[in-house]
Amino acid sequence: MNAVTNNAPTADKFETVACYNCGETKSTELLIGQDDLSGKPGDFQFVTCNRCGLAYQSPRLTVENISPYYDEEYIAHRKETNWGILTWFYERAMGKHDREKDKLVSRYVDMTEGTEVLDVGCGSGSFLQRLRQQHQVNASGVDFKNLTHLPFFEGVTFHEGLYYEQPLTDDFYDLVTMWHFLEHDYDPVRTLETSCRVLKPGGHLIIEVPRLDCLTYRMYGKRWPGVQAPQHTVMYTKEMLLEFIKRSGLEVVDYLPYGAFPAYFYLYAGLAFHLRKGKGLNLRRSIYPYFAGQVLMTPVLLFERYLNLAMQTVVCRKPLTSSD
């Protein structure tokens, strides 16, 4: 077991950072977050920039010291498939997540054979595999963790490492997607500028992240799943996310106050994190009450797209010309 699971990270593993948006070094403490998902020890400070108001983690773990927090306990990297009598429900839920992503991107992008797609922070690769099978796209993914031994990466081009350090071709992709990636990023400005560079003129970037100015944050505060320290480095309000995008050279096509990721997870996990108080969430024990609660919450979840519960999605486009 990695030492970080037994001991909180020491001060030498952290670095103080200036505001990602405006470069201001002065900030005010917002909250102290913990790894509520796995229960690994450590307190992680989030601040708000004194100039522009961006909420971000500082000090943060350095890139070299963050990887132990993305182990097999991290939800996006879990390999477990046997959930007993609820296995069918689990697989259906995971499949629905990818179907919802597919439906969303297909509203804005003509997904046909040969369409060049890049998924940033691709995790297990299941979304890319769905696009390959459903639309015969040319699928590529990038992630700092290599999970290509999983079956979803068959036929997928994989790039390992930091996105903005990859030797990707300019003006190449029809679609770049970031499903809950940008809140993990160590340089979101550079990431968005990289996306603008590698997209074809008229190509689309679709970003989904938690929304800080939402109902579930007001409900749970420091136990809000969108905090998820130390993996999450930035928390975006609607206004701040749109500001980042526009300064990168991309234009906003549409803004959605919801996402493909179910907001119900934030309702459930926020309550569980509040009750557990940093001791971690046992997903195997939680799966039964999770699905039971989802059934009970169905009348509310029918209106998810109108309630600003947790998620936000922005559809962006690279201008056709420099003056477009």
Which backbone phi and psi does 30 adopt, to 5 degrees?
-100, -50
Give Cα 82 distance to the centre of its chain. Answer: 25
Neighbour-count burial for 57-69, b at 16+ CB within 10 Å, e otherwise: bbebbeeebbeeb
Name the pLDDT band for 321 (thresholds 50, 70, 90).
Answer: confident
pLDDT over threshold 50, residue 3:
no
> What pLDDT sits at residue 288?
83
**Omega prior to 59 cis, within 30 of 0:** yes
pLDDT over threshold 50, residue 128:
yes
> What pLDDT sits at residue 277?
93
> What pLDDT sits at residue 276?
94
Pairing between strand 60-61 and 138-143? unpaired
Tokens 């799943």 appear where? 225
Q: Across-strand partners of 120?
A: 142
What DSSP designation does 169 have?
P
Q: Which of 147, 127, 148 is nearest to 77 (CA)?
A: 147
Structure tokens belonging to residue 150? 């999983």
pLDDT over threshold 70, residue 76:
no
How many of the other CB atoms lie within 10 Å of CB of 93? 16
- Tens digit of each residue's pLDDT (9 = 90 or more) over 230-253: 999 999 999 999 999 999 999 999
Mean pLDDT, to the nearest integer, of 310-323?
Answer: 90
Give the residue with greater pLDDT, 66 vs 76. 66
> What pLDDT sits at residue 136?
97
> What pLDDT sits at residue 80?
54
Name the pLDDT band for 310 (thresholds 50, 70, 90).
Answer: very high
Q: How far is CA 165 from each of CA 190, 193, 307, rounded to the nearest angstrom?
A: 10, 12, 38
Contact 163, 149 (CB under 8 A): no
Angle at Cα 32 formed by Cα 261 and Cα 18, nearest 5°?
A: 85
User: 3-state class of 201 per DSSP?
Assistant: strand
pLDDT over threshold 90, residue 30:
yes
Give the span between the Cα atoms of 317 and 137, in whole angstroms: 19
pLDDT over threshold 80, residue 312:
yes
Name the pLDDT band for 82 (thresholds 50, 70, 90).
Answer: low
Domains of the chain: 3-317 (3.40.50.150)
What DSSP designation does 59 have?
S
Rounded to 10 degrees, what is the CA torsion of 217, 215, 38, 178?
Answer: -100
> What pLDDT sits at residue 283?
77
* Cut 0.75: pTM above it: yes
What percent of the chain shows pLDDT beyond 70? 90
- Tens digit of each residue's pLDDT (9 = 90 or more) over 130-164: 999 999 999 999 999 898 998 999 999 999 999 99
Give the span between the Cα atoms of 315 and 111, in whole angstroms: 15
Contact 120, 176 (CB under 8 A): yes
How many of the other CB atoms lie within 10 Å of CB of 247? 12
Which backbone phi and psi does 180 adopt, to 5 degrees?
55, 50
Q: Where are the beta strands (DSSP E) in the chain?
A: 14-15, 27-33, 44-49, 55-57, 60-61, 116-120, 138-143, 157-160, 173-179, 199-210, 234-235, 251-256, 311-317
pLDDT over threshold 60, residue 292:
yes
> What pLDDT sits at residue 16?
98
